[in-house]
Structure 1
Amino acid sequence: MATFVLIHGAGDVGWYWHLVEAELRARGHETLAPDLPCDDDSAGLAEYASAVIDAVPDRTDLVVVGQSLGGFTAPLVCERVPARLMVLVAPMIPAPGEAPADYTAHTRYEDAEVGHYDDPIELFYQDVPPELAAEALRRGRAQSEAQLKEPSPMITWPYVPTRVLICRDDRIFPVEYLRRVARERLGVEADELDGGHTPALSRPAELAERLDAYAAEVGLSEAAG
């Protein structure tokens, strides 16, 4: 079985993963979902990665999962822990040495068909139960942008098998846009899941099933691959 290292996105906390954690543990896996110092003006990607690595047990059966901006942190973690697999969910997919602030320009985000939503619930949580969406907003933190112009310390993509899972109704990163970025940057075809940008809250059982199946592909689950 696997130990899933779950990395949240911008302005969020590890609580984001709590429903997926319950599903994965019911399947026999271990999980951890640390809070990143995303509201700290002195913290950048290196500090985000260190916060995750400090929480990782001395194990070799690790599956590192990054959500959204967590896609910048996940490969940095995989450089320093014995990960068997990396999974990027509704992600930003960084290039070596790229600053998060440069990501949209570098990936031609302006070409994506993106709607305009003033309500954060309509943008991030449109398919999340209202009470859960309200709790997510209450627990969220302001994302510091102080260090987001700093280049990523990643020199090259880590030699870890990588899967990309995109959401068909994502209002942040549309499907066609993320498919293209996954092909151009990683040379992989992204898998798809129903729902919006935050599937750990809207579809935790489905997301956990996908993660479990990915783990099975590298011998870390009894599930069919």
Structure 2
Amino acid sequence: MFALIHGAGDVGWYWHLVEAELRATGHETVAPDLPCEDDDAGLPEYADAVAAAIGDRRDTVIVAQSLGGFVAPLVADRASVGRIVLVAPMIPAPREAPADFWANTRYADEDRESYDDVFYQDVPPALREEAWKRGRAQSEARMSEPSPLAAWPDVPTHVVIGRDDRLLPVGFLRRVARERLGVVPDELDSGHTPALSQPVKLAGLLTSYVR
């Protein structure tokens, strides 16, 4: 079973094309909406929402997009997790607050161009418009709280990154994945949101991890 975690200010709908591909090959999926608009909710509450969607299912594959990377390892303390896949992720260090990720990973040192659209530049226009319409506000009220993560869970972990990611550039994520997890990422020809721009290829990667 795959539990799919969306990123900041988003909804579970983000994963709907990947879910269709996974279900077509016999996999069960859940993609809950996190309480990202709620000022009273932080990382623990986000992880609680995912764990509630998983219920008593065993050996779940957690797939997390962007800010969801901070949520994914916390789910392992709340549900049966067999594998973690981080997609275009923020990769947390133990006890790190999401707000501190940027300074701690030396993000400002990256040589990045300025773009009007850093999320959906390679997504088909109608789908891009629907994604913007469904987006929600992301509360920052608790983003400065340290994560309760003490250490990365002892489960196989994969990282998937986009070669054309404008928000988290490919070189940046290669380095952070190596430094923080000792992982060499798999790469897709996509931007920051491959579940919308490359759903078939992303779903194929996900299923390859569990064969």
Task: Give TM-score, length-normalised by structure 2.
Answer: 0.98
**Aligned residue for 2:33?**
35
**Aligned residue for 1:16?**
14
> Contact conserved, 1:24 with 1:212, CA < 8 A, in 2?
yes
1:79-94 to 2 correspondences below 5 Å: 79-94=77-92
Partner-residue secondary structure (3-state), 1:53: helix
Aligned mates of 2:112, 2:60 — CA distance in 1? 34
**Aligned residue for 2:158?**
163
> Contact conserved, 1:113 with 1:174, CA < 8 A, in 2?
no
Question: Which residue of 119, 124, 136 maps to 1:129?
Answer: 124
**What's the offset of the Cα at 1:80?**
2.1
The amino acid of 1:178's aligned partner reads: L
1:136-155 to 2 correspondences below 5 Å: 136-155=131-150
**What's the offset of the Cα at 1:114?**
1.8
**Aligned residue for 1:96?**
94
Partner-residue secondary structure (3-state), 1:105: helix
> Contact conserved, 2:56 with 2:80, CA < 8 A, in 1?
no
**What's the offset of the Cα at 1:20?**
0.2
**1:53 to 2:48 alignment:** no
The amino acid of 1:197's aligned partner reads: H
Aligned mates of 2:88, 2:185 — CA distance in 1? 10
Partner-residue secondary structure (3-state), 1:123: coil
Q: How big is each residue's C-alpha offset from its partner over 1:65-95, in whole Å with a ceiling of 9 and x where there is no partner? A: 0100000000000222221110000000000
Task: Give TM-score, length-normalised by structure 1.
Answer: 0.92
**What's the offset of the Cα at 1:134?**
0.5
> Contact conserved, 1:78 with 1:86, CA < 8 A, in 2?
no
Partner-residue secondary structure (3-state), 1:113: coil
The amino acid of 2:81's aligned partner reads: A
Aligned mates of 1:207, 1:7 — CA distance in 2? 14
> Contact conserved, 2:62 with 2:72, CA < 8 A, in 1?
yes
Paired residues, number:
211
Aligned mates of 1:126, 1:68 — CA distance in 2? 16
**What's the offset of the Cα at 1:61?**
3.1
The amino acid of 1:80's aligned partner reads: R
The amino acid of 1:14's aligned partner reads: G
Identity of aligned residues (%): 68
> Contact conserved, 1:24 with 1:30, CA < 8 A, in 2?
yes
Q: How big is each residue's C-alpha offset from its partner over 1:102-147, in whole Å with a ceiling of 9 and x where there is no partner? A: 0000001012122212x3xx21000100010000000000111010
> Contact conserved, 2:55 with 2:79, CA < 8 A, in 1?
no
Aligned mates of 1:187, 1:116 — CA distance in 2? 30
**1:214 to 2:197 alignment:** no
**Aligned residue for 1:185?**
180
